[in-house]
Amino acid sequence: MSTVEQQLDDLQAEITSELPSDISVSSVKYEGPELVVYTRDPKEFAQQGDLIRKLASKLRKRITVRPDPSVLSRPNEAREEIMNVIPDEAGVTDLDFHADTGEVVIEAEKPGMVIGRHGSTLRDITKNVGWTPEVVRTPPIESSTVSNVRSFLKQERDERRDILEKVGRQIHREEMSDDEYVRISTLGCCREVGRAAFILSTPETRILIDCGDKPGAEGEVPYLHAPEAFGAGPETIDAVVLTHAHLDHSAFIPLLFKYGYDGPIYCTEPTRDLMGLLTLDYLDVAAKEGRTPPYDSEMVREAIKHCIPLEYGDVTDIAPDVKLTFHNAGHILGSAVSHFHIGDGLYNVCFSGDIHYDDTRLFNGAVNDFPRVETLVLESTYGGRNDYQTDQEDSEEKLKEVINETYEKGGKVVIPAFAVGRSQEIMLVIEEAMRNGEIPSMPVHLDGMIWEATAIHTTYPEYLRDELRDRIFHEDENPFLAEEFNHIDGGEEERQDVADGDQCIILSTSGMVTGGPIMSWLGHIGPDPESTMVFVGYQAQGTLGRRIQNGWDEIPTSEVGAMGGGNGRGTLALNLDVETVDGFSGHADRAGLENFVKTMNPRPEKVLCVHGDERSTQDLSSALYHDYNMRTFAPKNLETFRFL
């Protein structure tokens, strides 16, 4: 008998002995990081309010209870019972019964009302029908990404159960080594922004954290082939942890499966969905630009199938000697500060991922409060000594001014923006300003992936700032549903209509004017001296956005591409005003980074400054050393640091 079998047998015996004699345990199984307890008495189990919580704390495991298939009521009967228990206002949109696991997935507009106070409604469901309910939110705005991911996972249910069982056995395997160390190897993202990838390793376990591309430098991929990465074989990597969905962290996650990786990806649920959206778009863009994509969409599906979603605050075993906890990072939807607890109190490492320290309209500021942290791996995008950003309040005032001025001139406002994060932030500013009469009410057209990204945001309001979350829960207050917002889904024809029509605001991707529908808007609106283009995000060196920002007023048609048109002489005259409003960054500025560290509880002993150019990482590293007396480093790629 394998040690895992033995362990499960022992656990079953222990659980049985802890339970009242009228509750039987038919089997226990690992499913990913969870221990699933099958019982022939699910109703009795549900009756005893905090039995599961007590078991979980006694066994120090995450526990799920499911009915033994033999005692399940028939789905049709169960459906009726369930609908009786759940109040009508919950807005149930789908019920999906899985006889293999005894689970019923309930999709509802108001998941909170399905759950009930402290889970009372859920318990009532089990008490009445035996099935184990699992609740997901009906997207308030229809999202093809969310519905595709959900139906794909439903379709792959069997394989996914196998994956989870395999992962569970890996996690709960016996520890083999009696050595002790903790190491971090840098595979990218050091003294540069882009291609984030780190290996966290112990004698027992190796974890890959992020695996992104480097925008504008397609050849510079993470050093995955280094011996300390996949050189020793993909099976030597226990787990992948994805801090957030931005491509500089996620682009090559699907590639890992092409390389033979077959293990779990830990991330939040919104990160999973956004990764699907962004990597598929990444493949599209590569194909359009004539580059050979490094993997195909099949690999994106593989990646999604291997995702194990974790919520902020869940302490989760991901290896025999490693517990992972995600915390809000304030950067984009689902972005996570990733805390690793190694051994039994041996060592703690925190990867900031990308963070925003202060609250924004969309998100609460990054969490920096932990039980313990010895080493912090800190992003340094704006770590340079002069990298201070304008206050968002001032930026908002300026944006409103620009909109008002353009409106008075009779022109249109075109805002190139990233689909994920910055667009929603700007939407919130505009919606409030219109509601308060600070700017005139007019159509706000959302083009490119912005609408879809917004829909994903509204699917996961728990990941948004408290006030915003509460407003989304009340349909009539959901700011993203304001009547001014219009989804451009009619293609070039609709764009032509908008261009020919009344004053309006246009938010469109790509954010650096390097492709996408913004090229079309440039063709339509560019020549109009009454209109204004407003840059609200960082424009990288070498992008068209940067050149427009710097004063280019004639663009070769070849730059604008097929969508942009031109004037027949091969150039496009840019007569519109160009304005820059910064302060909407998703990244902490220098002050934010210092505050994150300064107020961090507890203070880390060591800080590795990464995800910033050479100057930023070195400036930040030396400032933290001098001001807070920490041991700090600005690593290079391909180095390995040992702690302990």
Interacting residue ranges for a copy of itself, rule: CB under 8 A: 181, 183, 185, 206, 226-229, 231-233, 236, 636-642
Rounded Cα distance, 58 and 437, in Å: 57
Residues 6+ apart with CB under 8 A from 630: 597, 603, 604, 605, 606, 607, 624
Does the annotation flag 354 for ligand binding? yes
Please work out, in degrees rounded to the nearest 5, the angle formed at the alpha carbon of residue 65 by the alpha carbons of 63 and 66: 140
**Rounded to the nearest whole angstrom, what is the least distance from the CB of residue 229 to a copy of itself in the complex?**
8
Indicate the residue among 248 and 619 with the shorter CB distance to Zn ion: 248
Q: Which does 236 bind (CB under 5 to 8 A by kind): Zn ion, a copy of itself, none?
A: a copy of itself
**Rounded to the nearest whole angstrom, what is the least distance from the CB of residue 610 to Zn ion in the complex?**
10
Residues 6+ apart with CB under 8 A from 164: 30, 31, 32, 308
Indicate the residue among 103 and 354 with the shorter CB distance to Zn ion: 354
Binding mask 287-326 for Zn ion (x = CB under 5 A): ----------------------------------------
Q: Which does 354 bind (CB under 5 to 8 A by kind): Zn ion, a copy of itself, none?
A: Zn ion
- What residues numbered 98-127 form the site for Zn ion, per CB under 5 A? none
Rounded Cα distance, 274 and 103, in Å: 26
Indicate the residue among 42 and 635 with the shorter CB distance to a copy of itself: 635
Q: Which does 248 bind (CB under 5 to 8 A by kind): Zn ion, a copy of itself, none?
A: Zn ion
Q: Which of 146, 142, 126 lies closest to 134 in space, CA to CA?
A: 126
Q: Which does 181 bind (CB under 5 to 8 A by kind): a copy of itself, Zn ion, none?
A: a copy of itself
**Rounded to the nearest whole angstrom, what is the least distance from the CB of residue 199 to a copy of itself in the complex?**
9
Indicate the residue among 103 and 248 with the shorter CB distance to Zn ion: 248
Token digits of residue 363: 């998100």
**Rounded to the nearest whole angstrom, what is the least distance from the CB of residue 227 to a copy of itself in the complex?**
4
Does the annotation flag 244 for ligand binding? yes
What is the rounded (10 degree) CA torsion for 231, 283, 543, 394?
Answer: -100
Do 414 and 531 form a contact (C-beta atoms < 8 A)?
yes
Indicate the residue among 418 and 633 with the shorter CB distance to a copy of itself: 633
Q: Which does 640 bind (CB under 5 to 8 A by kind): Zn ion, a copy of itself, none?
A: a copy of itself
Q: Which does 227 bind (CB under 5 to 8 A by kind): a copy of itself, Zn ion, none?
A: a copy of itself
Do 102 and 66 form a contact (C-beta atoms < 8 A)?
yes
Does the annotation flag 339 for ligand binding? no
Rounded Cα distance, 328 and 596, in Å: 13
Q: Which does 183 bind (CB under 5 to 8 A by kind): Zn ion, a copy of itself, none?
A: a copy of itself
DSSP 56-89: HHHHTSEEEEEE-GGGPPPHHHHHHHHHHHS-GG
Binding footprint of Zn ion, residue count (CB under 5 A): 3
Indicate the residue among 150 and 191 with the shorter CB distance to a copy of itself: 191
Indicate the residue among 184 and 318 with the shorter CB distance to a copy of itself: 184
Q: Which does 641 bind (CB under 5 to 8 A by kind): Zn ion, a copy of itself, none?
A: a copy of itself
What is the rounded (10 degree) CA torsion for 327, 330, 332, 338?
Answer: -30
Indicate the residue among 194 and 526 with the shorter CB distance to Zn ion: 194
Q: Which does 558 bind (CB under 5 to 8 A by kind): Zn ion, a copy of itself, none?
A: none
**Rounded to the nearest whole angstrom, what is the least distance from the CB of residue 347 to Zn ion in the complex?**
25
Token digits of residue 406: 């353009």
Residue 166 to residues 4, 59, 135, 163, 529: CA-CA distances in angstroms?
Answer: 11, 21, 25, 5, 62
Instruction: Tell me which H or E stretch contains 451.
Output: helix 450-459
**Rounded to the nearest whole angstrom, what is the least distance from the CB of residue 337 to Zn ion in the complex?**
12
Rounded Cα distance, 281 and 258, in Å: 18
Cα-Cα end-to-end distance for the chain: 35
Indicate the residue among 111 and 635 with the shorter CB distance to a copy of itself: 635
User: One-letter amino acid identity for 249?
Assistant: H
Which residue in this structure is represented by tokens 């954010």? 511
Does the annotation flag 457 for ligand binding? no
- What residues numbered 226-255 form the site for Zn ion, per CB under 5 A? 246, 248
213 binds Zn ion (CB under 5 A): no
Token digits of residue 598: 């300064």
**Rounded to the nearest whole angstrom, what is the least distance from the CB of residue 312 to Zn ion in the complex?**
17
Question: Which range, of 348-356, 418-426, 504-512, 621-629, touches Zn ion by CB under 5 A?
Answer: 348-356
Residue 92 to residues 69, 96, 113, 121, 461: CA-CA distances in angstroms?
Answer: 24, 11, 10, 14, 17
Q: Which of 60, 13, 14, 58 lies closest to 34 in space, CA to CA?
A: 60
Token digits of residue 55: 């078991």
Indicate the residue among 196 and 304 with the shorter CB distance to a copy of itself: 196
**Rounded to the nearest whole angstrom, what is the least distance from the CB of residue 206 to a copy of itself in the complex?**
8
Q: Which of 558, 570, 561, 505 lies closest to 531 in space, CA to CA?
A: 505
Q: Which does 206 bind (CB under 5 to 8 A by kind): Zn ion, a copy of itself, none?
A: a copy of itself
Q: Which does 246 bind (CB under 5 to 8 A by kind): a copy of itself, Zn ion, none?
A: Zn ion
**Rounded to the nearest whole angstrom, what is the least distance from the CB of residue 611 to Zn ion in the complex?**
6
Q: Which does 626 bind (CB under 5 to 8 A by kind): Zn ion, a copy of itself, none?
A: none
Indicate the residue among 185 and 520 with the shorter CB distance to a copy of itself: 185
Residue of the chain from 107, 354, 387, 452 that contacts Zn ion (CB under 5 A): 354
**Rounded to the nearest whole angstrom, what is the least distance from the CB of residue 187 to a copy of itself in the complex?**
11
Indicate the residue among 96 and 220 with the shorter CB distance to a copy of itself: 220
Rounded Cα distance, 238 and 265, in Å: 10
Rounded Cα distance, 379 and 246, in Å: 14
Residue 446 to residues 409, 427, 498: CA-CA distances in angstroms?
Answer: 22, 9, 11
Q: Which residues pair with 240 in a beta bridge?
A: 208, 265
Q: Which residues are annotated as a binding site for Zn(2+)?
A: 244, 246, 248-249, 331, 354, 611
Q: Which residues are annotated as a binding site?
A: 244, 246, 248-249, 331, 354, 611
Q: State the residues that interact with Zn ion by CB under 5 A.
A: 246, 248, 354
